Chains A and B, each alone.
Chain A
Amino acid sequence: GESVGLHLPTLSVQEGDNSIINCAYSNSASDYFIWYKQESGKGPQFIIDIRSNMDKRQGQRVTVLLNKTVKHLSLQIAATQPGDSAVYFCAENIPMKTSYDKVIFGPGTSLSVIP
């Protein structure tokens, strides 16, 4: 079935190091991918997105890489800071023949930054 999964449920990194959060997706028709950050007690916050016609997109301290050959998505956070500690979700948008698209979230990866 359709699913978006994460390879690592938890990730601990030293402050200042780079973080890499991985995500696997199974639907080759997905045309849009989004990374969200969710802090405790808050709703998911948009970080960065990428469309399926791109391989890489950079934001401020974040980079998303998309490998459609192996259906893999990653989020790279440069110079990880304590404020980056949160749960990170990838989500894929699947275009449907009906009038709406379908968004599926992965289970999330918990990132802990060690000061």
Chain B
Amino acid sequence: DAGVTQSPTHLIKTRGQQVTLRCSPISGHKSVSWYQQVLGQGPQFIFQYYEKEERGRGNFPDRFSARQFPNYSSELNVNALLLGDSALYLCASSYGPNTDTQYFGPGTRLTVL
């Protein structure tokens, strides 16, 4: 079975641009969470979606938004990119909404120049 997949693998943008990252959860999983991982640090929670509804939001500015589609895939959008947005963006899926084990994708490496 395929694990969590993310696209693209790598992305280079310039300040002020907008970016969309995509995630496909494990088949049967209904929850998708997004994390930002800055080099040398642990992942920081951005969003969680369950059954297409936002269930949680971390301490990130409104430039960050996300959505989940009927097939449970998800997109993370970041507007007006800043240099500090450079990070590995991780998607994790789980079957249930809360404390179920999360399975992470390989991440999308975003570099903002």
Contacts and interface: CB of A to CB of B under 8 A. Distances in A.
Range, interface on chain A: 20 to 34
B101 A43 contact: no
Contact of B42 (A93, A98, A100, A105): A105
Range, interface on chain B: 20 to 34
B25 to A, nearest CB: 13
A44 B101 contact: no
Contacts of B90: 43-44
Nearest to A100: B56
B55 interface: yes
B4 A100 contact: no
Which of B43, B45, B55 neighbours the largest number of chain A CB atoms within 10 Å of its CB? B43
Interface string A78-93: 0000000000010101
Contact of B99 (A89, A93, A104): A93
B99 A31 contact: yes
A42 B106 contact: yes
Given A43-B90, A46-B103, A95-B98, 6 more contacts: A43-B4, A89-B42, A93-B99, A105-B35, A108-B40, A108-B42
